[in-house]
Amino acid sequence: MGEAETPSFEMTWSSTTSSGYCSQEDSDSELEQYFTARTSLARRPRRDQDEPVEWETPDLSQAEIEKKIKEYNGQINSNLFMSLNKDGSYTGFIKVQLKLVRPVSVPSSKKPPSLQDARQGPGRSASVRRHTSFYLPKDIVKHLHVLSRTRAREVIEALLRKFLVVDDPRKFALFERAERHGQVYLRKLSDDEQPLQLRLLAGPSDKALSFILKENDSGEVNWDAFSMPELHNFLRILQREEEAHLRQILQKYSYCRQKIQEALHACPLG
């Protein structure tokens, strides 16, 4: 996004749940990410009343956009209006609810590298880098001021920057939620979809359309979203897990063999 397109933020804390955090080394964070990835890989798609729904995004003329904006502004009871720009684009507010069930990684300190760290080289600095694993409060609601051409991927990146989250943006996804005939429908937005256009077409009602930031759990692990050190660490964790399973199997059969031999010795000859 250019400088003029950078979303501005108004934050509303709508949850009474307190957040929790713990400081840990990168390897601990990677351990949690590994088990998260493994669980995502094994998870089967859930089948319930939440079903995908397609929103039509017709190409509106300038006159139709202006009419829609007037209708939209006439239906809201706040100052979160949409406004038409001279270049044909328009600006407005979208509300995003954060529903993250796993912790996010943020820098544990913003302290710049010391002279000693610089002399030790990048390898030493990387090895002592620390992140904080932080649980965001549930159901945080944020209002973002965006352009009509602002994409869903840019909204996700802006939200992560606001909270200083260093996790890869591809680990998150923006969803649209709608209530129809007593059922809730969810759809994951593609990277290039423009949330403000969807907001304008649906109107200001949250039941007609609302936005949710969630983990990008598609049933498959996006291994490209992890760094090389993370992937190498996953392999080490996998090896340790395999060795642990082998020890359990050997102990099980050794125990059975011992019991059988004890039973044989206890049996009278003949």
Q: Where are the domains of the chain?
A: 62-105+129-218, 226-265
Q: What pLDDT shows up at residue 120?
A: 53
* Residue 88: pLDDT over 70: yes
pLDDT digits (tens, 9 = 90+) for 51-83: 444 445 678 888 999 999 999 999 998 889 999
CB 207 within 8 A of CB 180: no
Q: Report the predicted TM-score, pTM, of the whole model to 2 decimal places.
A: 0.58
Specify the residue for token string 């990048």. Answer: 122
Domain 62-105+129-218: give its CATH architecture.
Answer: Roll (3.10)
pLDDT digits (tens, 9 = 90+) for 171-221: 999 999 999 888 999 999 999 999 999 999 999 999 999 999 999 876 566
Q: How many CB atoms lie within 10 A of CB 180?
A: 11
DSSP letters, the chain, are: --GGGPPEEEEE----PPPEEEEEEHHHHHHHHHHHHHHHHHPPPP-SS-B--PPP-----HHHHHHHHHHHHHH-SSS---EE-TTS-EEEEEEEEE---S-EEEES--PPPPHHHHHH-HHHHHHT-EEEEEEPPTTEEEEEEEETT--HHHHHHHHHHHTT--S-GGGEEEEEEEEETTEEEEEEPPTT--HHHHHHHH-S-TTT-EEEEEE---SS--GGGS-HHHHHHHHHHHHHHHHHHHHHHHHHHHHHHHHHHHHHHHSPP-
* Residue 9: pLDDT over 60: no
pLDDT band at 38 (very low <50, low <70, confident <90, very high): low
Q: How many CB atoms lie within 10 A of CB 252?
A: 10
pLDDT band at 26 (very low <50, low <70, confident <90, very high): very low
Q: What pLDDT shows up at residue 152?
A: 96
Residue range 225-238: average pLDDT? 81
Q: What pLDDT shows up at residue 7?
A: 53
* Residue 243: pLDDT over 60: yes
pLDDT band at 223 (very low <50, low <70, confident <90, very high): confident
Q: What pLDDT shows up at residue 50?
A: 44
CB 212 within 8 A of CB 99: yes
